[in-house]
Chain A
Amino acid sequence: MRKFAEFVIANPVKIIIVTLILTMGLATGIRNIRFNEDIKSFLPKDTPSRLTLNELEEIFGGSDVALIGIGNEEQSIFNVQTLKNIKAISDSLEVMGGVNRVTSLATIKYIEGHEWGLEVTPYLEVDPETEEDAQRIREMFYNDSTYIGIMVSEDGNYTSIMAQIMDGVEVKDVYREILRLTEELEGNDKIYMAGTPIITTIVSKSMKEDLRRLIPFVILLIIFLLFASFRSLIGILLPLGAVILSLLSMLGLMGHLGYEFTTFNNIMPIILLGIGIDYGIHIMTNFYQEAELLKDKKKAIQEAITHIFVPMLMACVTTMAGFMSLRTSPLTMHHEMAYLISFGIFMALVYNLTFVPAFLSLLPMPKSIKKRSGEGLVDRFLDTIGKGVIKLRHGIAVAGILIAVTAAVGIPKVEIEMNPITFFPKSSEVVQSDRMVNENLNGSVNMNILFEGDIQSEYMMNSMNDLQEYIEQFEEVGSTMSLATVVKKINKALNENDPAYDRIPETNAGVAQSLLMYESSGEPDDFEAIVDNSYQYGQVIAMLKSVATRKVAKISNDIDRYIEDNLSDVTVKTTGFSVFFKDLAYLVIQSQARSISFAVIVVFIIAYATYRRFILGFLSIIPLAMCVILNFGIMGYTGIDLNIPMAMISSMIIGIGVDFSFHLLSRFKIEFREKKDSLKAALIAMKRVGEPILYSAMTTACGGLVLTISGFVPVRYLGFMLAVIMMFCAILTLTLLASSLTYIKKD
């Protein structure tokens, strides 16, 4: 340690130059950073629903659906101007690169049986010229009730245009094109965009804006904190410089490794700034203290490094361990985050032990710094608390257990939410749009059920039809569509529109010939979206309303069970966003369970290795476990969802909170060895480390509160919970952990 310190002091210029060059080299990766909000890419590649999606997209060319609602509240859409707009948007979408196929009034076809045969006509083949034309289309539309409340709202004021995005195309390009397109519309029709691909695109865009807003804010907060602590320019610039360098390194590495920003990890920079600045504060505080004491700059630096090296390394290692616990998550996104934050934190340590002291050794000796005001107050406060804690130690233990149990009861109430629409405030345009489309038109969350076998057999057709009837029972389901839907319509049309024939024909020949009839009237690609050429693969497309993930998961599970019970002799697989939400929810729960257990075990092992006492290892995890339980308990009682950003909170709590435990335990061990009295040792330890722990908790809480200005609702809650829980964690460490220590009898 001392040698290292000497080396740093002897070669400051070299160290500064080398650090800067290395950092800049690493930082070149920053321009490669991309933002990704594609929910399906979050799922591991071998997730069945993702494999099925690949298969489905290979067969049908795509599955993502962007929904455009159009209309206005004053009049029915069946007027010349609106119909022209629908036609114009549909036509432009059809020829737009990246759009596979369009489903709207302009593309769907009216199947009608006549005495002489079957007629398949597009509702809107050419622009209507007169209001009579518009009324004729209206009558045609209402003759066939299939699309009412799905393609056109019940009141007739809105209609939807669905654009299926081509497999492997950037949705944001399509989104931009659609926006441009809708801006050119005439008349007073309003446009509502919805559908998971659109929402995720907006999420991705908002993430960048959010970072741009949050990072400067956090830096301002840091400057304020540093100013309050040190009242000197150097005291602000050096720790800030070190933490910004570590941020550049982390982001650079992120770019070089090709990792992407997602809603999982977009607050990483904020977390790093919050944690990294602590190291800077530690080293500067120590330096100023030593300088005051030794009146020699070089010696002060040397002493500061020597004193701080081991505790800081310990803090760093334990925090890294907390975040590395995300490595046990089944989600790749969590792994990337684990590496990146750990790396960033490690680099913050490195810069604070090299760059900062090197700079200090080049600068003149600081003038004596003022002692922070109010410190006496904190001391007295801690003294009172400390005595209280010792006095009430039995009560605290009981209270702790009671709080833990009460909180634990709330945990099952935690709702898990994966739908990206919940990222936005209720008043935002995207939520309004989504709600309008979901309430009046087809749902916006797709579920695709892939059938494999002799699709045009009567048996398969009936299996599909039965499944569709089952799915349509759920009130959250907007509509279902498949080849069976079409076959039923043709059968009815071929039987003089007799409603009794609105069913699958009784024989395979009947089905095949219905299709032959349609094929001779429609266009070759009419069935492209629902059956493949060889009639070996078919799909049922169900559109679900954008509702809580819990409901989507239930429907999805019910459908799986139905398939298991009734379609066991048919090859059927489910996929689509509704299934992804369910799978992701399951994986997030799994990630929580795994990372929390891993973190707790690692903390125990490190504590045990450090203090060589089983009981200390055990006690060190008590405040952390309590905080995690409290966190989920509060979430359960207050109705804060567990969602993608929130999935990292337990790692943060453990990663940051573990420092508090270790501070207290280290001090306690030293004092206990001296005093041989656990009561006295606990009291002294508490008073000594109380202030830094409270200070650190408060800075983290401030960081958390900064997150509440985020544009994303879950990030706001994450910040809020972080602030609350970190304060709890400090208090628990200083009360529950401190009082538990008094039960230790022998060294």
Chain B
Amino acid sequence: MKTRSSIAALMLILSISWSDALLTAQEQMTGAQIMEKVDTRTVPVDSRMETIMKLIDKRGSVRERTLKSYRWGDDKQIMWFLAPADVKGSSFLKHTYDDRDDDMWLYLPSFGKVRRIASHAKKGSFMGSDFTYEDMGDRKLKDYEYKLMGEEKIDGKECWIVESIPNKGVVTDYSKIVSWVWKTEYMLIKEDFYDRRNQLKKKKVLEPVNVGKYWVAQFMSMENLKSKHKTEIYMNNIEVDTGLEEKLFDTRYMKRIHR
């Protein structure tokens, strides 16, 4: 009995030091560990930017929307529509939580009231784009099984390739997501989304830019291979750690475009 427990203790010690060794040598991380790093990487305290969203259909026709967008860490986000004229003044607010579904609100000046967006709208489109809320990165870490598939260099950046398979019972459009994680910054720079038939359905691409001491996205695109529809999001005039107050990320501030 005693011998056995000491063997167990030894094994435990060994395994801990073994995994420590793995962590030090980055290359040996597991998929889950990589994705956890991605989830917890350092982001600006707050940021503000002007966002241009282009909705492009298979025949190349473009619909454009311009938004003013503020972020509070990774958790809160508010954006006001500046153009086109018929939706100007509409705004969107989101609070993200680790342990429960996100809260989202929409304000429509023509209807006057702030409305909540149903919490189960995860599969819903983000402002009519090819991004669903799910695609915008609001995946809960615990909802997936991860597997490190290999490595690849994308645009000169060394990346891990991690496959995420949703756990049973998770509401999602996808059977599988393959992510390219930039090793240096633990940033997702490319993702492939597979539909229920396990066919590649959408492709997401992200371009990072260095602002201050952070790496943030300056361009994101999502292409739906089935509908041949594409959304491009350009982040302009990005400012970080500007001293925004957290109280600004509240439904009260949705009705007036912040200056």
- Enumerate chain B residues within 8 angstroms of A75, measured Cβ to Cβ: none
Contact bitstring B59-98, A, C-beta under 8 A = 1, else 0: 0011100000000000000000000111100101000000
- Closest CB in chain A relative to B255 CB, distance in Å: 13
Q: Which of A155-163, A527-535, A554-562, A699-707 contacts its partner? A: A527-535
Docked pose: A507 CA to B89 CA in angstroms: 15
Q: Is the Cβ of A521 less than 8 Å from the Cβ of B124? A: yes
Given A509-B110, A512-B86, A513-B111, CB of A521 within 8 Å of CB of B63: no
State whether the Cβ of B156 lies closer than 8 Å to any Cβ in chain A. no
What 12 new A-B contacts, CB under 8 Å, besides A119-B118, A528-B227, A532-B61? A116-B116, A117-B116, A121-B120, A456-B86, A513-B86, A516-B87, A520-B104, A523-B132, A524-B132, A525-B227, A533-B63, A534-B55
Nearest-CB residue, chain B, relative to A97: B197
- Enumerate chain A residues within 8 angstroms of B124, measured Cβ to Cβ: 120, 519-523
- Enumerate chain A residues within 8 angstroms of B92, measured Cβ to Cβ: 520
A-B pairs, top 7 by smallest CB distance, nearest first, are A533-B57, A117-B115, A519-B128, A512-B86, A524-B125, A534-B61, A117-B116
Q: Is the Cβ of A509 less than 8 Å from the Cβ of B118? A: no
Contact bitstring A529-567, B, C-beta under 8 A = 1, else 0: 000111110000000000000000000000000000000
Docked pose: A528 CA to B109 CA in angstroms: 26
Using C-beta atoms within 8 Å of the partner chain, give the interface range for chain B: 35 or more
- Enumerate chain A residues within 8 angstroms of B102, measured Cβ to Cβ: none
Q: Is the Cβ of A522 less than 8 Å from the Cβ of B117? A: no
State whether the Cβ of B108 lies closer than 8 Å to any Cβ in chain A. yes
Contact of A524 among B84, B116, B128, B197 (CB under 8 A): B128
Docked pose: A121 CA to B120 CA in angstroms: 9
Q: Is the Cβ of A513 less than 8 Å from the Cβ of B117? A: no
Contact bitstring A480-521, B, C-beta under 8 A = 1, else 0: 000000000000001100000000010111111111110111
Docked pose: A409 CA to B87 CA in angstroms: 64
State whether the Cβ of A118 lies closer than 8 Å to any Cβ in chain B. yes
- Enumerate chain B residues within 8 angstroms of A536, measured Cβ to Cβ: 61
Docked pose: A507 CA to B130 CA in angstroms: 27
- Enumerate chain B residues within 8 angstroms of A521, measured Cβ to Cβ: 117-118, 121, 124
Given A513-B108, A520-B124, A524-B130, CB of A120 within 8 Å of CB of B118: yes
Give the contacts of A336-379 with B (CB-CB under 8 A).
none
Contact of A519 among B56, B57, B127 (CB under 8 A): B127
Docked pose: A534 CA to B230 CA in angstroms: 12
Q: Is the Cβ of A512 less than 8 Å from the Cβ of B227? A: no
Nearest-CB residue, chain B, relative to A512: B86
Docked pose: A517 CA to B107 CA in angstroms: 9
- Enumerate chain A residues within 8 angstroms of B105, measured Cβ to Cβ: 117
Q: Is the Cβ of B110 less than 8 Å from the Cβ of A507? A: yes
Contact of A534 among B62, B121, B129 (CB under 8 A): B62
Q: Is the Cβ of A117 less than 8 Å from the Cβ of B118? A: yes
Q: Is the Cβ of A494 less than 8 Å from the Cβ of B111? A: yes
- Enumerate chain A residues within 8 angstroms of B224, measured Cβ to Cβ: 524
Docked pose: A505 CA to B111 CA in angstroms: 10
Nearest-CB residue, chain B, relative to A532: B57
- Enumerate chain A residues within 8 angstroms of B229, measured Cβ to Cβ: 524, 533
- Enumerate chain B residues within 8 angstroms of A116, measured Cβ to Cβ: 115-116
Best-surrounded residue of A508, A517, A524, A535 (most CB of chain B within 10 A): A524
Q: Is the Cβ of B123 less than 8 Å from the Cβ of A117? A: no
State whether the Cβ of A95 lies closer than 8 Å to any Cβ in chain B. yes
Contact of B106 among A508, A512, A520 (CB under 8 A): A520
- Closest CB in chain A relative to B106 CB, distance in Å: 5
Nearest-CB residue, chain A, relative to B108: A513
Given A507-B110, A509-B87, A520-B127, CB of A533 within 8 Å of CB of B61: yes
Docked pose: A435 CA to B125 CA in angstroms: 39
Q: Is the Cβ of A494 less than 8 Å from the Cβ of B115? A: yes
Binding site for B on A (CB under 8 A): 95, 116-121, 456, 494-495, 505, 507-517, 519-525, 528, 532-536
- Closest CB in chain A relative to B240 CB, distance in Å: 27
- Enumerate chain A residues within 8 angstroms of B130, measured Cβ to Cβ: 524
State whether the Cβ of B142 lies closer than 8 Å to any Cβ in chain A. no
Nearest-CB residue, chain B, relative to A59: B59
- Enumerate chain B residues within 8 angstroms of A514, measured Cβ to Cβ: 108, 110-111
- Closest CB in chain B relative to A100 CB, distance in Å: 10
Nearest-CB residue, chain A, relative to B131: A524
- Enumerate chain A residues within 8 angstroms of B55, measured Cβ to Cβ: 533-534
Best-surrounded residue of A495, A522, A533, A536 (most CB of chain B within 10 A): A533
Given A95-B197, A513-B108, CB of A522 within 8 Å of CB of B125: yes
Docked pose: A318 CA to B131 CA in angstroms: 69
State whether the Cβ of B41 lies closer than 8 Å to any Cβ in chain A. no
Q: Is the Cβ of B127 less than 8 Å from the Cβ of A120? A: no
Docked pose: A514 CA to B229 CA in angstroms: 22
State whether the Cβ of B196 lies closer than 8 Å to any Cβ in chain A. yes
- Enumerate chain A residues within 8 angstroms of B115, measured Cβ to Cβ: 116-118, 494, 517
- Enumerate chain A residues within 8 angstroms of B109, measured Cβ to Cβ: 509, 513
Docked pose: A330 CA to B84 CA in angstroms: 49
- Enumerate chain B residues within 8 angstroms of A120, measured Cβ to Cβ: 118, 121, 124
Docked pose: A615 CA to B130 CA in angstroms: 77
- Enumerate chain A residues within 8 angstroms of B85, measured Cβ to Cβ: 509
Q: Is the Cβ of B125 less than 8 Å from the Cβ of A523? A: yes
Contact of A117 among B62, B110, B117, B227 (CB under 8 A): B117
- Enumerate chain B residues within 8 angstroms of A118, measured Cβ to Cβ: 115, 117-118
- Enumerate chain A residues within 8 angstroms of B132, measured Cβ to Cβ: 523-524
Show 30 A/B contacts (Cβ-Cβ < 8 Å), sorted by A: A95-B196, A95-B197, A117-B105, A117-B106, A117-B116, A118-B115, A119-B118, A121-B118, A121-B120, A508-B86, A509-B109, A510-B111, A511-B86, A513-B87, A513-B90, A513-B108, A515-B128, A516-B87, A516-B90, A520-B92, A520-B104, A521-B117, A521-B124, A522-B121, A523-B125, A524-B129, A533-B55, A533-B57, A533-B63, A536-B61
Docked pose: A519 CA to B87 CA in angstroms: 13
- Closest CB in chain B relative to A369 CB, distance in Å: 72
Give the contacts of B212-259 with A (CB-CB under 8 A).
224, 227, 229
Best-surrounded residue of A495, A514, A532, A534 (most CB of chain B within 10 A): A534
Docked pose: A520 CA to B133 CA in angstroms: 9
Docked pose: A528 CA to B90 CA in angstroms: 24
- Enumerate chain B residues within 8 angstroms of A511, measured Cβ to Cβ: 86
Docked pose: A630 CA to B47 CA in angstroms: 87
- Closest CB in chain B relative to A164 CB, distance in Å: 14
Docked pose: A513 CA to B92 CA in angstroms: 12
Docked pose: A532 CA to B228 CA in angstroms: 12
- Enumerate chain A residues within 8 angstroms of B121, measured Cβ to Cβ: 120, 520-522
- Enumerate chain A residues within 8 angstroms of B123, measured Cβ to Cβ: 523
- Enumerate chain B residues within 8 angstroms of A519, measured Cβ to Cβ: 124-125, 127-128
Docked pose: A507 CA to B126 CA in angstroms: 24
- Closest CB in chain A relative to B222 CB, distance in Å: 10
Docked pose: A494 CA to B90 CA in angstroms: 15
Docked pose: A524 CA to B132 CA in angstroms: 8
Docked pose: A534 CA to B56 CA in angstroms: 8
Contact bitstring B132-170, A, C-beta under 8 A = 1, else 0: 100000000000000000000000000000000000000
